[in-house]
Amino acid sequence: MNMGKIAVLIVDVQKALVEAHPYREEEFLQELKRVADGARKAGAEIIYVRHDGDAGDELESGTEGWNIHGAVEPKPGERIFDKNYNSAFLETDLEEYLKEKQITDLILMGMQTEYCMDSTCKAAFELGYGVVIPEGATTTYDNEFMSGEATVKFYETKIWDGRFADLMSVEEVLELLAR
């Protein structure tokens, strides 16, 4: 795979969402941490996206649940973009920032698979970014129609891979970052 300048984008891994126990919660956090550590070691930028909920919402700005989860919290100097919509690009300065930094490719991780991850993946693709999704680095919850596991696998293999993104194992992503 031929990639340009890479950044890791971690979407909505916020305390309230993780504490609601999504599919593969512990494994998900471990995979995110492995990729983030690999990115830092390689000198790749890590960018966080945080959803701002309405007043009284579990993700209300400034509340404990709104904070990035401690397992993957930003290091000093790492950027956080706050958003009000599913897409990390809609009405944020993310695209402008990526252009300023000459970032051409994104390693996309986070939650929820069928909402903010899907919207952000498709928006990044439409804006011309190369997108890689590490397998197992997205999660969601069971719902009345599908289990969290089925939702994750469906989006990873049937929606994103080969269409909007390249699905790669975490090991492959770590090798990509180390190049």
CA distances from 81 to 45, 87, 134, 153 (A): 14, 11, 21, 27
Residue 169 lies in a domain: yes
With b for 16 or more beta-carbon neighbours within 10 A and e for fewer, the 45-84 pattern comes to bbbbbbbebeeeeebeeebebbebbebbeeeeebeebebe
The 10s digit of each residue's pLDDT in 107-160 is 999 999 999 999 999 999 999 999 999 999 999 999 999 999 999 999 999 999
Residue 140 lies in a domain: yes
CA distances from 80 to 25, 26, 172 (A): 22, 23, 26
Residue 64 lies in a domain: yes
What does DSSP assign to residue 145? S
Q: Specify the amino acid at residue 131.
A: V
Catalytic residue among 9, 116, 165, 173: 116
Residue 1 lies in a domain: no
For the domain that residue 55 is a member of, what is the CATH number?
A: 3.40.50.850
- Does pTM top 0.95 for this prediction? yes
Note if 116 is an active site residue.
yes
User: How does residue 33 score in pLDDT terms, banded at 50, 70 and 90?
Assistant: very high
Note whether 111 and 99 are within 8 A (CB). Answer: no
**Beta carbons within 8 Å of 47's beta carbon, 6+ residues apart:** 7, 8, 9, 10, 78, 79, 80, 81, 94, 97
Mean residue pLDDT of the chain comes to 97
Tell me the mean pLDDT in the region 23-43. 98
Residue 71 lies in a domain: yes
* Tokens 């000093």 -> residue: 76
Total count of domains within the chain: 1
* Full domain range(s) for residue 37: 6-178
* Integer Cα distance of 102 and 168 in angstroms: 23
Q: Specify the amino acid at residue 70.
A: G
Residue 98 lies in a domain: yes
